[in-house]
Structure 1
Amino acid sequence: MNGIELIVIAIAMYAVAYKLYGNFLIKRLEVNNSNPTPSHTMNDGVDYCPAKPPVLLGHHFASIAGAGPIVGPVIAAGFGWVPVYLWILFGAVFIGGVHDFSSIISSVRHQSKSIGFIIQTYIGESGKKLFLLFSWATLILVIAVFTIIVADTFTHIPSSGTSSILFILLAIAFGLAIYRFKVSLTIGTIVGVILLFLCIFAGNYFPIQLNALTWQLILFAYIFLASVTPVWILLQPRDYLNSFFLYALMIGGLVGVFFAAPSINIPAFSSFSLDKVGYLFPALFVTVACGAISGFHSLVGSGTTAKQLDKESDARLVGYGGMLIEGLLAVLSLTAVASMVNKEFIDILVNKGPVPAFSLGVARFLNAIPFLNISSEAGQTFSALAVSAFALTSLDTAARLARFMFQEFFEVKENPEKESIFQNRFVATGITVAIGAALTFSGQTMSIWPVFGSANQLLAALALLALTAWIAYLRKGILFVMIPMLFMFAVTLTSLGMLVITNYNSENYTLSVISLLLFLLAVSLGFKTYNVLVNGKETSRELI
């Protein structure tokens, strides 16, 4: 099998799934455009704001993608390309796509509140508090880690810092042009994309050279502003324009595959266990998150995306379609490294990391396109810059989502309209960013990172748990969400159990305790949901 076959099979499968399984999901959840969405009924010009489908897809895709669908498949390729490829194909269609699509629709049906609100409604108030606390803590970790990653990137590649600042200014101008001056989306997009790529060249001519600490402080100020600023003026247009950056990388890489016709040189299957990664089960399903299923997607879908959904049917393109596009990016990432000689791939992965390995593979595909005449060095720079741009996108989205989680945590169930000081968006953002900064400067962030993969997939399992309870309440068949939920619980509980033992034996008691607490949280919410489904009024419902 060669790279062309991997890409063609993935495109064909995702196209069929989008049509057939997408229609199944629409019917099962009774998606109906006559149902007004909160972006219209609760439009506040800050968080709730209707967006056109292409714009919202760009925002959603840029937010969920980040570096995840690139880094995960590259690391997991050490197991061999076959298990990674199969997990990406079937995971995106039957697990990740269901998770993302259903999260958006369930949120829209509940005032575009988070999955935590769904848990409160159908499982209980304590379940909601646990979920929101866990989600907020996970997002704090994302903020801390991605701040370090982006600041280091800007420090070592000063041109990327300049380009990113210009991206932000361009996004503000684009948002004003579209929403205030009513410029056509088509014209605005054409001009915006041209200026977007000019920003890249401008960065090379005017690099901003600052140290990592200075960049970190600038980034914390930026994500505070990004969290409290109306979504239409910065976050939404920036993600939309940035998505064309990733689309260009994907299209260029996919087209390049057909010219390069790369053979697959790494083993189809190499080992059941990898050093520093773990056993095939559960490590594969934790390592490859974005591209198959990621709990972070449910936070984005029920956090920012649901508040901007113009009509319910847009959820198929944005949620299910966005997941399939991300799956295709993950397949491209796998193909890029699988086309290398196995020794070369291992050397780059061990000595330089997954992003350089991906960048080199894609650069070779771009170099094979005769009419572009892109050198391997230019292709590597372009690919690496795309990854860093989306790391920044994930960072500012995480800050806004964490603010939402914080505000919902302090909502009073008996009087949700009454706002406490902790529900003020400036206060909630300030506390969130301050704690994220404290964790960043503590120097302990990266040591906690090994638990993040399991925590992220636990988020997915808990979201599917909440969706199962909601759909059961609707008297709908629940197997299409319950089976993925059970699988993800098996993955995360096994992974967390192994982390408890491994970290305890290595005397890393902090990580062992954190892993144990996450394990107990998952089991606790699982039992709460089981009691609701078995002992509550849901017992008479059909499963299929």
Structure 2
Amino acid sequence: MALLLIAISIIVFLIAYVTYGSWLAKKWGLDYTRRTPAHTMGDGVDYVPAKAPVLLGHHFASIAGAGPIVGPISAAMFGWVPVFLWIVVGSIFLGGVHDFASLFASVRHDSKSIGNVIEDTIGDTGKKLFNMFAWVTLLLVIAAFANIVANSFVGVPSVATTSLLFITLAILFGFATNRMGIGLLPATIVGVILLFASVWVGVQFPIVASFNTWYAFILVYIFVASVTPVWILLQPRDYLNSFLLYAMIGGAVIGLLFYRPDIALPAVTSFKVGTSYMFPILFVTVACGAISGFHSLISSGTSSKQIDSEKDIKLIGYGSMLIEGVLAVVALITAAYIGADRMTELLAAGGPTNVFADGVGTFMTTIGIDLALGKSFVALAVSAFALTSLDSGTRIGRFIFQEFFDKGEVQATGATKLLTNRYFATLVTVAVGGWLGATGYAKVWPVFGSANQLLAALALLASAAWLKKAGKAHNMIKIPMVFMFAVTLTALVFLVRANLAAGNYALVIFGSVLFVLALVLIKLSYKILFTKEVVQPKEAK
């Protein structure tokens, strides 16, 4: 049965990419001859055109952190059928559309954030509200992922060694392909060989240091990664890292072909499990792998500034989401094939990522890979992608901070000039995120699931409003948008009610603010989305 699930998902996703993805591209009017901002606004730092395989590697590595692994395993309490259906349907009709539209809308708005798309359609107030919310959400990402990566470096020192070697290798790869004229194919072959050699070196020569040492190092690293040109570090590191994830997914799928595990998890358990209801908790828990607001920030933050041609938008936006859907299905299978006792044991020993590593490692034993080595490789891959999401999130936080204070064509002087400086914007983002992670991000982290999915609803709202005003088809976005607002607003009501009873007033306030923010933006956009009036926005000429 497990083999059937992975086969169905891969086949359905391929069909969706060829049919629905192409239909979306046609309906939205992608122009393959139009010059993208990576060329018209190229600055050698943020706006740098990238070849499609390189950008696919960056984008996929940035969106596919631990989310598509943790979510499906955590939601398995409702049974494998609802989780599987949400992954497949969500990836095709919600997440894929969300990522595709966010990337396309950003490219058509000088590759700026979704906040600028909102400004163009809803107004400056909407932009400021969205950017504040997005920046705070990214602070939570920085706080959490910095802790996760630092803990992984302490718990598995080989991960630290491998990560440092990745960074060095990425810099060499970037110079080789962008400044020394070495072709992408030969550089990739050598780079991938050295990549896996780095994994081996990491296992042989682990670097041991304290949590505080690694935490400080990570904050310094993400500052540097945020301000340096993307071709030096971000592009090549994420591109090479993506081969780790491809190898992990490939090894898992091939291992499944030979292992052929049965499904031990019930198809459906109950609509209510403990205090959690399937609606809305399933749709908030399984974010990456179905739909995730964080993806819109990656799409409109770093990826849109590297799009070489609009013909690449479908592959990067829609294709990456479908690949992530495959990863989410693999994660679900690692939880579904084991019994409840084994599941409890693995969760207690290391959480959902331990369940995933044990499952994938077990599957790969059928192709001659030792279980311990397989589990170690999977753990290294997951940790590497957590770091990738961290440095991408920091860079996007810097973009949003700069855009919030950007006065456009008005000459920036004094305080405005300082606030839009990339070094200062990065310093503030890293400092606040780092402080939050060091002093108590866990107090507000439980609201992140709802915040992330609300971000997805807002990104869908922005894309739908822009397409409507541009006279383009948008109903395929409006329906997912309504569903995601229903999910997130219901989840926020549950969250506020539960924490009010528990006396956790910080979460009560945070959840209430998010709820009000959503209502304000819905009100501001209602006339645009639900009337027949069509007003051409600035971009649509």
Contact 1:227 1:403 survives alignment (8 Å): yes
Match of 1:13?
A: 12
Q: Which moved more, 1:105-114 or 1:419-428?
A: 419-428
Local SS of the residue matching 1:177: helix
Alignment correspondent of 2:373: 378
Residue equivalent to 1:313? 311
Counterpart of 1:424?
A: 421
**Normalising by the residue count of structure 2, what TM-score does the alignment of the two structures yield?**
0.97
Matched residue type, 2:29:
E
Give the Cα–Cα distance (whole angstroms) in 1 for the partners of residues 202 and 446 of structure 2.
34
Q: Deviations 1:19-67 (Å, cap 9, x if unpaired)? A: 0001111111101111110000001000000000000000000000000
Tell me which residue corresponds to 1:403: 398
- Give 1:493's aligned residue: 489
Q: Among residues 339, 343, 346, which one is paired with 1:341 in the alignment?
A: 339
* 2:477 aligns with one of 458, 466, 481: 481
Match of 1:106 in 2: 105
Q: For residue 171 of structure 1, report the CA deviation from its aligned partner.
A: 0.2
Cα distance in 2 for residues equivalent to 1:176 and 1:530: 49
Match of 2:385? Answer: 390
Partner SS state of residue 538, structure 1: coil
Alignment of 1:98-247 (within 5 A): 98-247=97-246
Cα drift, residue 342 of structure 1: 2.9
1:444-494 deviations in whole A, cap 9, x for unaligned? 111211100000000000000001100101112321000000000000000
Q: CA deviation at 1:350?
A: 4.2
Q: How does 1:423-442 map to 2 (within 5 A)?
A: 423-442=420-439
CA distance, structure 2, for counterparts of residue 499 and residue 235 of structure 1: 36
**What is the match of residue 75 of structure 1?**
74
Deviation sequence 1:48-100 (CA, Å, 0-9, x none) = 00000000000000000000100100110111000000000000000000000
Offset from partner CA, 1:486-517 (integer Å, 9 cap, x none): 00000000001111111001111110110000
What amino acid does structure 2 have at the position aligned with 1:423? T
1:205 deviates by: 2.1
* Equivalence for 1:93: 92
**Is the CA contact (8 Å cut-off) linking 2:226 and 2:398 kept in structure 1?**
yes
Structure-2 separation of matches of 1:342 and 1:129: 47
The alpha-carbon distance between structure 1 residues 219 and 213, as it changes in their structure 2 partners (threshold 3 A), is same
| One-letter amino acid of the structure 2 residue matched with residue 503 of structure 1 | N
Change (3 A) 1:538 1:297: same
1:289 match: 287
Which AA in structure 2 matches 1:404?
Answer: F
The 1-side partners of 2:455 and 2:170 are apart by 31
CA deviation after TM superposition for structure 1 residue 230, in Å: 0.1
Deviation of 1:105 (Å):
0.8
Amino acid at match of 1:319: G
Name the structure 2 match of 1:516. Answer: 512
The worse-fitting range, judged by mean Cα deviation, of 95-104 and 373-382 is: 373-382
Structure 1 residue 447 corresponds to structure 2 residue 446: no
**Distance of aligned partners of 1:191 and 1:414 in 2 relative to their CA distance in 1, 3 Å threshold:** closer
Give the letter for the 2:197 counterpart: L
Letter in 1 for 2:322: L
The alignment status of 1:364 with 2:362, answered yes or no, reads yes
Give, in angstroms, the shift of residue 534 of structure 1: 4.7
What CA distance in whole angstroms lies between the structure 2 residues aligned with 1:262 and 1:20? 31
Which residue number corresponds to residue 329 of structure 1?
327
Within 2, Cα distance between the matches of 1:39 and 1:141?
A: 29
How far, CA to CA, are the matches of 2:446 and 2:366 in structure 1? 37
Aligned-partner residue type, residue 323 of structure 1:
M
- Equivalent residue letter for 1:227: S
Q: CA deviation at 1:346?
A: 3.1
Are the aligned partners of 1:359 and 1:380 in contact in 2 as well (CA < 8 Å)? yes
Percent identity of paired positions between Structure 1 and Structure 2: 54
Q: Quick one: distance in 2 between partners of 1:234 and 1:193?
A: 16
Counterpart amino acid of residue 31 in structure 1: L
* Deviation per residue, 1:220-246 (Å, 9 max, x gap): 000000000000100110000000000
Distance 2:409 2:229 in 1: 28
Which residue is equivalent to 2:539?
Answer: none
Distance 1:508 1:470 in 2: 38
Aligned length: 534
Aligned-pair CA distance for 1:438:
1.2
Residue 351 of structure 1 and its aligned partner are, at CA, apart by 4.7
* Matched-pair contact (CA < 8 Å) for 1:75–1:349: no
Aligned residues of 1:158 and 1:209 also touching (Cα < 8 A): yes
> 2:264 maps to which residue?
265
Which amino acid in the other structure matches residue 129 of structure 2? Answer: L
Check whether the contact 2:137–2:452 (CA below 8 A) recurs between aligned residues.
Answer: yes
Counterpart residue type for residue 109 of structure 2: H
Residue 3 of structure 2 corresponds to residue 4 of structure 1: yes
Paired residues of 2:470 and 2:534 also in contact (CA < 8 A): no
TM-score by length of 1: 0.96
Q: Which amino acid aligns with 2:364?
A: L
Shift of residue 537, structure 1, vs aligned partner = 3.3
Q: 1:335 to 1:535 in 2, by over 3 A?
A: closer
Unpaired segments of 5 or more residues in structure 2?
537-541
Aligned partners of 1:97 and 1:47: how far apart in 2?
25
Distance 1:305 1:391 in 2: 18
Question: 1: distance between equivalents of 2:74 and 2:411?
Answer: 45
Return closer, same or farther for 1:21/1:414 CA change in 2, 3 Å cut-off: same
Q: Which amino acid aligns with 1:429?
A: T
Secondary structure, counterpart of 2:305 in structure 1? coil
| Partner residue in 1 for 2:58 | 59
Q: Distance in 1 between matches of 2:89 and 2:533?
A: 33
SS of 2:309's equivalent in the other structure is: coil
Q: Residues 533 and 539 of structure 1 are in contact (CA less than 8 Å); yes or no, is this contact kept in structure 2?
A: no
Q: Which residue identity lines up with residue 388 of structure 1 in the other structure?
A: S
SS class of match (1:240):
helix
How far did residue 533 of structure 1 move? Answer: 3.5
Check 1:416–1:391 CA distance in 2 against 1; reply closer, same or farther (3 A cut): farther
Whole-angstrom distance in 2 between the partners of 1:288 and 1:515: 19
Q: Which amino acid aligns with 1:322?
A: S
TM-fit CA distance, 1:536 = 8.3
Whether contact under 8 Å (2:159, 2:380) holds in the other structure is yes
Structure 2 counterpart of 1:209, which letter?
A: V
The residue type paired with residue 445 of structure 2 is W
